[in-house]
Amino acid sequence: MNISGCRFVAAFIALGIIGGRAVYSQKHADGTASSTNVRFTDIGGTAGVNFRQINGASPEKHLAETIGSGGLFFDYDNDGWIDILLVDGGSLADPAIARQARHRLFRNRGNGTFDDVTSSSGIRHLGYGMGACAGDYDNDGRVDLYITNVGPNTLYRNAGGGAFTDVTRTARVGSPLWSTGCAFADLDKDGDLDLFVANYVSADGKHNPYCGNARLNIRFYCHPLIFEPRPSVLYRNEGNGTFSDVSEQSGIGAIRGNGLGVVIADYDDDSWPDIFVANDSVPNVLLHRTGPWRYEDLALRAGVAVAIDGMARAGMGIDAADYDGDGRLDLVVTNLDFEMFSLFRGLGGRLFTYATPESGIGSTTLPFVGFGAVFFDFDNDTVLDVAFANGHMLDNPAQFRAGASHAQRKLLFRNLGARRFTDVTSSAGPGFALEKVGRGLAAGDIDNDGDLDLLVTNNGQTADLLRNDGTSGHALVVRLIGTQSNRDGIGARLRLTAAGRTQMREVKAGSSYLGQNDLRQHFGLGELTRAERLEVKWPSGRVDVVEDLPADQIVSIREGSGIADRRPFGK
Amino acid sequence: MAETVLGRAVAVACVTAAVLSMPAVAAAQQQTFFQSVAELADAAEGIYGDEGSHIGQALDTMSRALDGWDREIATLEARVAATQTMSARTRIESGLTLARMYADRGRLDDAMRHLDQVESLEPKDAAVHVMRGLLRDARGEAAGALEAFRQARAEAPDDPATAYFLWRSSEASGNAEGSRGARAALAAAYGPLLRDTRRTRGAPFRRIAPLEEAARSTPLVPLAAYHPGFERLARGELREAIEEFRRAAASDPLVKGASAQLSVVPRATEALRQGRLADARSFLEQPGATDDSSEARRVLGLVYWADSDFDKSIEQLETAMRMNPGDERSRLALSRVFSSAGRDADAQRALQDTLRVIPASERAHWWLATSYEHVNRFVDARHEFEQAASKAAAGRSHLLGAVGRLASAAADVAGATDAFSRAVDEDPDNPAWHRLLAGALLFQDRPDDALAEFVAALIIDPRDGDAHLGIGQIFLNAGRDAEAVDALRRAIELKTDTLDAEYALATALTRLGDSREAARYFERVEQVQRQRLADRRRTLSLDALREEAALRAREGDHSGASALWQQVIGLDPQRASDHVGLAGALANAGRLDAAIEEYERAARLGADPVVYRRLADLYARAGRAPDAARARLRYEAALGGGSPTR
């Protein structure tokens, strides 16, 4: 992130170029092209998700104060209703404030309202909290939790009964650096989840230079480039409750970047997961597997390291999905104001093209400092839309640009098809009208009604739980249960075909900014009431196919067995 | 001369030569005229206070030049009349020349009439239609201009300049079909431009705006009193303009002061020009020297300002303003003094007061704009730049460029596009405006329009590397990878900073499967990125140390400030201002000798002349009177010929 002013970035458009696969136009059942009938309403307070992030903001302007924190959806008690974890920050300047910080675990009551069950969970706040990711690393059927910090990270093993146990030391995953985004994935296809942790910079509170304008007597948060970049960490799951740090062996340890957002997905369809890291003010990183526990950074050659002018942007949040329906993964990365958020469209052949302006996202995002990013089909019209959580880095931006604000509204872009989006924020309801200092953004169906809701974390403010109301389209939600593969099916690729069109999803544990989406995969079906075919390609290599699936239900697919459970949506 | 065929041919040749060479003579008169306009504007600034006579001289030169110019035109008219028996080509060329001269002289009706005559000789001459279009434009006749450019295009379909004229005119008129066709022609023109390695920069889109020639590099924003004259100039009413200027000069205290022959002021201004500030002060500080003259007060204010005695300068300028509330120069100078003293809010207040008292002060709008921008009040700055641009006599494009820049800073892409488009209208032969406009258009998802503007930049200068880069990147994103490679290679040949072009080229080559060459460019890109990153880290770290040093100094912790400055200098020893910072901290910490050493070091590194003044003060405090005197002389010598008031 940087505080520089306007920079004319050459931004380009595909002049009607159509890719090799079908690119379609969609009729939208919900609303017109430039608006939506779907409304998002913040129900955080009424739903019981009462949480205000303690950022420890101080006159000394420790950088950590403005970075966090994140949050995620996960079903820790396996009752079929997703729960919420919210990471709290703390204070690097005042121990008394630091002691007030508490992560919060909210259990879904089964109707989209929540109970705070933190006190009985065993989850404790340590250090200064950043983000989290969740995955069943020991395949015991209960999803575990990894929380990143400024300082040692923490791995909580889900012991069942609502209790988590800190197993960091035995698991050997307590990286002491300032960690940010994390993601679980089975990187060696041995059936268990490995762990990737992005690390940021050396600003841990002990070294905090003065950054400001003495003449105007204002202090601001330092640019991250003032600090030393940190290498990310890669942990191999040994299958016995422990991990090994394979960062050096893998080549990842030699790559130093200001890592923030992480997403793991197979971008080149070679069946091996690849690791994307959004780096702050230095080129993004795309770690491509070249062999067993060997990775090479191909970001520059792939076209996702920098923007079109060859210069890095302030990469914060990141998500990967196939937004144009051509069967290839695409990427979105949020950036600082006046940089535009970066949309990279997959071309195949391990290449991406910088597709920001052609997409309709470009100029709209210019005034925003973006963090969380999520591809999701909010209106169930079969195409992936995108949302962003925004909020300035600086708590005093008006000092630098009159009219700039710390709190910013979120953005919601509707996918129009033909690789274009339109900004529908203004019609998306009161939840999107809120101006806050947005950070994390996660999508999940909190009330199992078949549409995706959003969890938003805000720096120094209350979290938002935006319930999705108003969509009339049909949908299908798929939960995976691995047997040979990891229990959550993380890394599995799903292809759902309905009315001759195929949607693709990949199960990711860790994405956006410092958080994670609901692991269940949501497919909007529009007016269709059934899907002809669902194909699941598991990390193990096994392919399961289910045919003739009625819409409007949550189906659980067990590896090798097919449908293990069905539940209709509860509307 | 004998009435032979040869003789007649020679006679024709002589007349033709005379006709075609005549513009050189008239051009010289024209140049002299506008040069005098520039000199008038410069003198009217009154930076030293002795420019009154220069204003009169400039006006006289303008009058003479205008008379000469008109004589040359009359002579050319007669000569052109004599060409009626000559070849059509000669008559066309001479007619065009005369029409151009009429246009430059502001006689647009005469120019149009003459073009009609020329067109009757050769209706298919594209140059005639282009000039007609430009004249129609100048007269605000959009429909007529469009028709003329359409005809020009029809007659010269291979000339990309006619395509550009037609495109812009179609856009302005809302003619979508015409616009599309012309734009497509521009896109097709890129190939030949890419291969054009010989042509140098030209002026294919020249407007009929001769005053712009004199203001190429800076805006011409005259003082309010002289603005009516410049308005006349802009309308081509040159003789009336001179009369307006004379009326303004007659009541200008700068001129009246000169004619009143206040003996003290001329001597003081002479000393000021030579940097003898002590002498200048002494002349004007004599009892009675400034009692009755606001102009004398103003000059004394300028002297104090040059001597960095800001409080006294402010006092004198404010007194001058009280004595003559309409004195725009004193008001503007006051704002400058406040800025020099670091009192930005007061500087802005002074300019706002100026506008309240002198609403026609476009200069105040301009300076207020820059002052606002300096303190990051971008919205206000943009508004003021717009105000200044609307009334600037010339060089509006630069002010509009500032508007565009600030619109960009506000993420107002539409506003930026509009501003840069107007900048292009004002100064169409400046490729920078076309490129900036292209960039804004790309932000608006209008790549076809952007491509056209990049092509326009290349029509002006086919060696514009950034324009080739922009086109290459458009091609790249359109999947036209092979064409992108060609454009990007050319960009790399022409640009000095090639990171962006090399990255784009590497990307294009990768897509084309040429991974080996792509790898070579990727390596270079990575190398440059690493270096730039390292440089940026260093700069940010140093800037943080500098700010912290300044903060410590403000807090009175001069020892702490000194330590930080020493740290900065240890990392970057060649920056004069850092040594000045350290010297100041050492001086405040009572370490005079060390401070003196640092100021001397700063002076050797080329610091601002004020460092000599500070040295003089320190030497004096250290009891080293001769050194103090020498430093004082060095200060005045450094100022001599270049007042800080400029």
Q: What is the pLDDT of residues B181-191, one digit of tens each?
A: 999 999 999 99
Give the dihedral sign, CA B2/B5/B6/B11: positive
Ranges of H-type helices in A99-242: 168-171
Model pLDDT, residue A382: 96
Q: Is the pLDDT of residue A400 over 80?
A: no
The angle, 0 to 180 degrees and rounded to 10, between the axes of the packed helices B362-374 and B378-391 is 160
State the nearest Cα–Cα gap between B149 and chain A, in angstroms.
Answer: 28
Taking alpha carbons only, the member of B491, B528, B405 closest to residue B190 is B491
Provide the token pair at A115. Answer: 């109970």
Model pLDDT, residue B636: 83
Model pLDDT, residue B96: 84
Are A357 and B445 inside 8 Å of each other by CB?
Answer: yes
Beta strands in B250-354 (DSSP E): none
Which amino acid would we find at residue B225?
A: A
Are A13 and B445 inside 8 Å of each other by CB?
Answer: yes
User: pLDDT tier at B594 (50, 70, 90 boundaries)?
Assistant: very high
Model pLDDT, residue A17: 22
Q: CA angle at residue B491 from B486 to B493, to 5 degrees?
A: 100
The residue among A22 and B320 whose pLDDT is bigger is: B320
Does the bond joining B36 to the residue before it have cis omega, within 30 degrees of 0? Answer: no
Task: Please list every residue in chain A whose beta carbon sits closer than 8 Å to the beta carbon of residue B479.
Answer: 14, 17, 353
Could you tell me the CA-to-CA distances from B416 to A272, B406, B410 in Å, in that order? 45, 8, 9
Are B547 and A351 inside 8 Å of each other by CB?
Answer: no
Are B443 and A363 inside 8 Å of each other by CB?
Answer: yes
Q: What is the radius of gyration, based on Cα positions, of chain A?
A: 21
Q: Is the pLDDT of residue B331 over 80?
A: yes
When pLDDT is averaged across residues A134-146 and rounded to a whole number, the result is 97
Are B411 and A337 inside 8 Å of each other by CB?
Answer: yes
Are B439 and A312 inside 8 Å of each other by CB?
Answer: no
The residue among A76 and B108 whose pLDDT is bigger is: A76
HSE-CB of B168 using CA atoms within 13 angstroms: 23
Spatial neighbors of B188 by CB under 8 A, at least 6 apart, are none
Model pLDDT, residue A384: 98
Are B504 and A308 inside 8 Å of each other by CB?
Answer: yes
Are B541 and A312 inside 8 Å of each other by CB?
Answer: no
Q: Which of B408, B413, B499 sits opposite A310 (nearest CB)?
A: B499
Backbone phi, psi, residue A346, to 5°? -70, 135
Whether the complex's predicted ipTM is more than 0.90 is answered with no
The residue among B594 and B276 whose pLDDT is bigger is: B594
Long-range contacts of B525-533 (CB under 8 A, 24+ apart): B525/A300, B525/A310, B525/B499, B526/A300, B528/A310, B528/B499, B528/B502, B529/A283, B529/A306, B529/A310, B529/A311, B529/A312, B529/B499, B532/B499, B533/A225, B533/A282, B533/A312
Taking alpha carbons only, the member of B327, B360, B365 closest to residue B348 is B365
What string of H, E and C letters represents the secondary structure of B432-451?
HHHHHHHHHHHHCCCHHHHH
Which amino acid would we find at residue A405?
A: S
Q: Is the pLDDT of residue A23 over 90?
A: no
A419 and A358 Cβ atoms separated by less than 8 Å: yes
When pLDDT is averaged across residues B535-550 and rounded to a whole number, the result is 94
Cα–Cα distance between A237 and A249 in angstroms, integer? Answer: 15
Residue written as token pair 């010339």: B394
Could you tell me the CA-to-CA distances from B403 to A223, A473, B196 in Å, in that order? 28, 46, 34
Q: Which of B377, B518, B525 sits opposite A402 (nearest CB)?
A: B377
Give the dihedral sign, CA B488/B493/B499/B503: positive
When pLDDT is averaged across residues A365-385 and rounded to a whole number, the result is 96
Cα–Cα distance between A525 and A251 in angstroms, integer? Answer: 42
Averaged pLDDT score across all residues of chain A: 91
HSE-CB of A464 using CA atoms within 13 angstroms: 30
When pLDDT is averaged across residues B595-601 and rounded to a whole number, the result is 96
Are A13 and B478 inside 8 Å of each other by CB?
Answer: yes
Percentage of the residues of chain B whose pLDDT score is greater than 70 = 93
State the nearest Cα–Cα gap between A253 and chain B, in angstroms.
Answer: 18
Cα–Cα distance between A159 and A140 in angstroms, integer? Answer: 9
Are B473 and A10 inside 8 Å of each other by CB?
Answer: yes
Are A312 and B553 inside 8 Å of each other by CB?
Answer: no
Q: Which of B342, B378, B529 sits opposite A283 (nearest CB)?
A: B529
Cα–Cα distance between A286 and A279 in angstroms, integer? Answer: 10
DSSP A464-506: EEEEEE----EEEEEEEE-SSS-TT-TT-EEEEEETTEEEEEE
User: pLDDT tier at B209 (50, 70, 90 boundaries)?
Assistant: confident
Cα–Cα distance between B580 and B566 in angstroms, integer? Answer: 11
C-alpha distance across the termini of chain B, in Å: 60
Residue written as token pair 């201004």: B269
When pLDDT is averaged across residues A25-52 and rounded to a whole number, the result is 75
Averaged pLDDT score across all residues of chain B: 89
Provide the token pair at B323. Answer: 């004595």
Task: Please list every residue in chain A whose beta carbon sits closer than 8 Å to the beta carbon of residue B379.
Answer: 402-403
Taking alpha carbons only, the member of B482, B480, B528 closest to residue B503 is B528
Model pLDDT, residue B125: 87
The residue among B646 and A168 whose pLDDT is bigger is: A168
User: pLDDT tier at A215 (50, 70, 90 boundaries)?
Assistant: confident
HSE-CB of A195 using CA atoms within 13 angstroms: 37
A273 and A187 Cβ atoms separated by less than 8 Å: yes
User: pLDDT tier at B258 (50, 70, 90 boundaries)?
Assistant: low
Q: Which of B442, B510, B540 sits opposite A10 (nearest CB)?
A: B442
B363 and B44 Cβ atoms separated by less than 8 Å: no
Are A214 and B440 inside 8 Å of each other by CB?
Answer: no
User: pLDDT tier at B641 (50, 70, 90 boundaries)?
Assistant: low
Per residue in A405-420, pLDDT tens? 999 999 999 999 999 9
Task: Please list every residue in chain A whose beta carbon sits closer than 8 Å to the beta carbon of residue B505.
Answer: none
Cα–Cα distance between A94 and A168 in angstroms, integer? Answer: 26
Are B469 and A215 inside 8 Å of each other by CB?
Answer: no
Nearest CA in chain A to B500: A309
User: pLDDT tier at B417 (50, 70, 90 boundaries)?
Assistant: very high
User: pLDDT tier at A31 (50, 70, 90 boundaries)?
Assistant: very low
Are A210 and B547 inside 8 Å of each other by CB?
Answer: yes
Are B378 and A401 inside 8 Å of each other by CB?
Answer: yes
User: Picking from A3-12, B91-100, B534-543, B569-578, which range would have the lowest pLDDT averaged per residue?
Assistant: A3-12
Spatial neighbors of A238 by CB under 8 A, at least 6 apart, are A244
Beta strands in B381-505 (DSSP E): none
User: Picking from A246-255, A308-317, A334-343, B15-24, which range would have the lowest pLDDT averaged per residue?
Assistant: B15-24
Cα–Cα distance between B252 and B266 in angstroms, integer? Answer: 16
Per residue in B116-162, pLDDT tens? 888 888 888 898 899 999 999 888 899 999 999 999 999 999 999 99
Mutate to test the interface with B, among A1, A63, A207, A308 (most CBs of B within 10 A): A308
Could you tell me the CA-to-CA distances from B400 to A401, B428, B622 in Å, in that order? 20, 13, 52
User: pLDDT tier at B516 (50, 70, 90 boundaries)?
Assistant: very high
Q: Which of B379, B443, B553 sits opposite A357 (nearest CB)?
A: B443
Per residue in A511-535, pLDDT tens? 999 999 999 999 999 999 999 999 9
State the nearest Cα–Cα gap between A518 and chain B, in angstroms.
Answer: 34
Number of inter-chain CB pairs under 8 A, A vs B: 153
State the nearest Cα–Cα gap between B578 and chain A, in angstroms.
Answer: 15
Nearest CA in chain B to A4: B409
Q: Is the pLDDT of residue A2 over 80?
A: no
Model pLDDT, residue A81: 96
When pLDDT is averaged across residues B466-489 and rounded to a whole number, the result is 96
3-state helix, strand, coil in chain A (%, to 5): 10, 40, 50
Q: Which of A13, A210, A357 sits opposite B548 (nearest CB)?
A: A210
CB atoms within 10 A of CB B375: 18
Model pLDDT, residue B436: 97
Give the dihedral sign, CA B325/B330/B332/B336: negative
Task: Please list every residue in chain B whose beta carbon sits closer than 8 Å to the beta carbon of residue A338.
Answer: 408-409, 411
pTM score, two decimals?
0.88
Strand partners, A348: A351
Model pLDDT, residue B645: 53
Q: Is A69 helix (H, G, I), strand (E, B) or coil?
A: coil
Q: Is the pLDDT of residue A22 over 50?
A: no
Are A360 and B553 inside 8 Å of each other by CB?
Answer: no
Nearest CA in chain B to A13: B477
User: pLDDT tier at B21 (50, 70, 90 boundaries)?
Assistant: low
State the nearest Cα–Cα gap between B501 and chain A, in angstroms.
Answer: 8
3-state helix, strand, coil in chain B (%, to 5): 80, 0, 20
Nearest CA in chain A to B525: A310
When pLDDT is averaged across residues A150-170 and rounded to a whole number, the result is 97
Model pLDDT, residue B259: 52
Are B442 and A11 inside 8 Å of each other by CB?
Answer: yes
Backbone phi, psi, residue A287, to 5°? -90, 110
Q: Is the pLDDT of residue B519 over 90?
A: yes
DSSP B127-180: HHHHHHHHHHHHTT-HHHHHHHHHHHHHH-TT-HHHHHHHHHHHHHHT-HHHHH
